[in-house]
């Protein structure tokens, strides 16, 4: 097996792809909540991605991503037997699980891919774990069967914004309903778009339940060197890569985080528009 070789690939829906990649150095010590930084090839940028799982015996890690940006489109071009240029990790602090009894993990959209290993990891650690999976519509639903198998059918709630599948509700509404129905959580974990995480953490605060948010940010090295991922936590500057990626949801300055997520917006739009329509992104210069 070659370093960073794709060993398995499955399409979850039109955009979402699940890959297993041989990266034994990463897999050996990987824990739920940690991330990697990858490069598709010599010309690619370095992007961080939370691992969707790992197998330290096989030496593989799992990545689930939506092929919607230039780099993720290029990732989707890599087939089984082909290799990534670089995968480095595990980075960031693992999810804190000690002492927890009952947790509700709330995933939004592609965030469910990252919430999945986290929820499974919690369950494996003996935590009574519930999962609220939220999607825009039926076509985007992923990992429902996998989650139900791991957590139990009665521990997984799928909701869609338009009601085309599962219950018609936003994740925040579903979470609040569960709390009102008497479910006891001693922590709520939010993984998804910042705006969703912000509202999930507000619901948690409303019921005096501690919340944790898994943040994503621009970063280069993932070891604290560039400072690109800095965010305001409780008024202090923190680096997502070394201090996170998970933070106390009640302390996150969400407006600051959302503003900073637009840092390279224009260039990303340009890059996306300049993916070749014939090849789907294979480079001209390789």
Stretch that binds another protein, among 11-19, 37-45, 145-153, 170-178 (CB under 8 A): 37-45
Binding status of residue 96 toward another protein by CB under 8 A: no
How would you classify residue 81: left for phi > 0, otherwise alpha for psi between -120 and 50, otherwise beta? Answer: left
Binding status of residue 271 toward another protein by CB under 8 A: yes
Q: Which residue number, 71 or 211, has a Cβ lying nearer to another protein? A: 71
CB of 195 to another protein, least distance (A): 16
Using CA of residue 130, residue 133, residue 138, residue 140, what is the dihedral sign?
negative
Query: Six-digit token pair at 167?
Result: 């219950």
Q: Which residue number, 9 or 93, has a Cβ lying nearer to another protein? A: 93
Stretch that binds another protein, among 128-136, 147-155, 190-198, 230-238 (CB under 8 A): 230-238
Binding status of residue 70 toward another protein by CB under 8 A: yes
Q: Which residue number, 155 or 283, has a Cβ lying nearer to another protein? A: 283
Stretch that binds another protein, among 6-14, 184-192, 203-211, 227-235 (CB under 8 A): 227-235
Binding status of residue 90 toward another protein by CB under 8 A: yes
Binding status of residue 279 toward another protein by CB under 8 A: no
Q: Tell me the site size for another protein, rule CB under 8 A.
A: 44
Among 81, 126, 163, 224, contact with another protein (rule: CB under 8 A): 224
Of residues 170-209, those binding another protein (CB under 8 A): none
Query: Six-digit token pair at 240?
Result: 């997502």
Q: Which residue number, 87 or 142, has a Cβ lying nearer to another protein? A: 87
Stretch that binds another protein, among 14-22, 36-44, 102-110, 115-123 (CB under 8 A): 36-44
Binding status of residue 267 toward another protein by CB under 8 A: yes
Per-residue three-class SS string for 123-173: HHCCCEEEEEEEECCHHHCCCHHHHHHHHCHHHEEEEECCCCCCEECCHHH
**Closest C-alpha among 134, 76, 131, 137 to residue 110:** 134
Binding status of residue 242 toward another protein by CB under 8 A: yes
CB of 9 to another protein, least distance (A): 21
Q: Which residues bind another protein (CB under 8 A)?
A: 25-26, 28-29, 39, 43-46, 70-71, 85-91, 220-228, 230-232, 237, 239, 242, 256, 259-260, 262-264, 267-268, 271, 283, 285
């Amino acid at each position: 097996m070659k370093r960073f070789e794709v060993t398995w690939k499955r399409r979850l829906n039109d955009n979402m792809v699940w890959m297993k990649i041989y990266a034994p150095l990463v897999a050996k010590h990987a824990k739920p909540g940690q991330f990697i930084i990858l490069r598709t090839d010599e010309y690619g940028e370095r992007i961080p991605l939370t691992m969707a799982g790992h197998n330290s015996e096989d030496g593989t890690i799992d990545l689930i991503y939506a092929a919607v940006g230039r780099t993720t489109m290029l990732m989707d071009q890599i087939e089984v037997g082909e290799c990534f240029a670089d995968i480095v990790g595990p980075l960031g602090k693992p999810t804190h699980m000690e002492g927890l009894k009952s947790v509700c993990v709330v995933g939004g959209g592609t965030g469910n891919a990252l919430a999945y290993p986290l929820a499974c990891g919690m369950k494996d650690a003996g935590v009574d774990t519930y999962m609220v999976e939220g999607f825009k519509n039926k076509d985007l639903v992923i990992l429902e069967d996998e989650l139900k198998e791991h957590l139990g059918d009665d521990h997984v709630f799928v909701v869609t914004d338009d009601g085309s599948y599962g219950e018609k509700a936003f994740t925040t509404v579903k979470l609040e309903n569960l709390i009102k129905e008497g479910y006891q959580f001693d922590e709520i974990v939010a993984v998804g778009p910042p705006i969703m995480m912000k509202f999930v953490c507000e619901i948690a605060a409303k019921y005096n339940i501690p919340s944790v948010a898994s943040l994503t940010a621009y970063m280069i090295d993932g070891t604290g060197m560039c400072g690109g991922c800095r965010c305001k936590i409780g008024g202090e500057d923190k680096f997502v890569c070394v201090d996170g990626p998970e933070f106390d949801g009640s302390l996150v300055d969400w407006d600051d985080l959302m503003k900073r997520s637009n840092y390279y917006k224009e260039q990303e739009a340009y890059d996306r528009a300049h993916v070749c329509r014939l090849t789907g992104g294979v480079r001209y210069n390789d």
